[in-house]
Amino acid sequence: MGPARIARAVHGRGAVRPDPAFEIAFAQDLAHRCAPSEIMALFRRFNQGEDHIDFLMRRTCVRALARRCGSGLRIEPGVGLRHVETFEIGDGVVIGEQVVIHGRFDGRCEIGSKVWIGAQAFLDARDLVIGDNVGWAPGAKVLGSKHSGLPIDVPIIATDLLIPRTVVEDDADIGMNAILLPGVTIGRGAIVGAGAVVTKDVPAFSKVAGCPAQVIGYRDGREVLAEASQ
């Protein structure tokens, strides 16, 4: 096998230009004139196309509904969104094809600036905070809650939900098909390997892999055993 080709990163280095004033005014007008259900119906009407109008309409609908929406949001076709009214989105965010972001009516979904979410990812965003410059690979998932399972004479699906906050700090990278369980914190600049299942907090700038995920190294060269013995 030959040496890997090195290509310059595109999304992470690109500048974000402010959205034009007419888009912001259009979103404000939609929010004033239309019910949230009507705006989501409009979103779905433009949710499959790939021309300029389709992208503009998807972005405008989300801006009309979200608590906050920065400039440069790009939503690819086939995306599923629930409870957009709980979303706070930074600048330059990309949401890939067929991504599902499932908020909750009383929840919080915060996505920082320059976040890139790959195709077919699933974000259970009942209480989810994603920092700036986070890479989220295709198919990666986060679960936002779990049932208490008690009492045992009640079907599990009917027991109370536990909804801890799940946090992915700035500059972290989540690998393809990785899974984050409810309540974990992925430290700043950490790397979660492809297919990993994260069941506990991940230290900053570490690299984790496996099921359950374990620290296999650090980006700054620290020894794993030396760190564990401290």
79: nearest Cα among 106, 105, 61: 61
Residue with tokens 């600036």: 113
- Answer yes or no: are the C-beta atoms of 182 and 200 closer than 8 Å: no
Amino acid making up residue 212: P
Whether 84 and 66 have beta carbons less than 8 Å apart is answered as yes
CA distance 203 to 206: 6
SS3 (DSSP) at 86: helix
Q: Which residue in the list 11, 52, 83, 147 is annotated as catalytic?
A: 147
- Where do runs of H (alpha helix) occur along the chain? 21-33, 36-45, 52-65, 224-229
Q: How far apart are CA 75 and CA 77, in angstroms?
A: 7
Q: Which two tokens stand for residue 217?
A: 């190294």
Residue 102 CB coordination number (10 Å): 17
Query: Which phi and psi angles does 74 have, rounded to 5°?
Result: -125, 120
Q: Give residue 163's Cα distance to chain centre.
A: 17
> Is 147 a known active-site residue?
yes
Residue numbers annotated as active site? 147
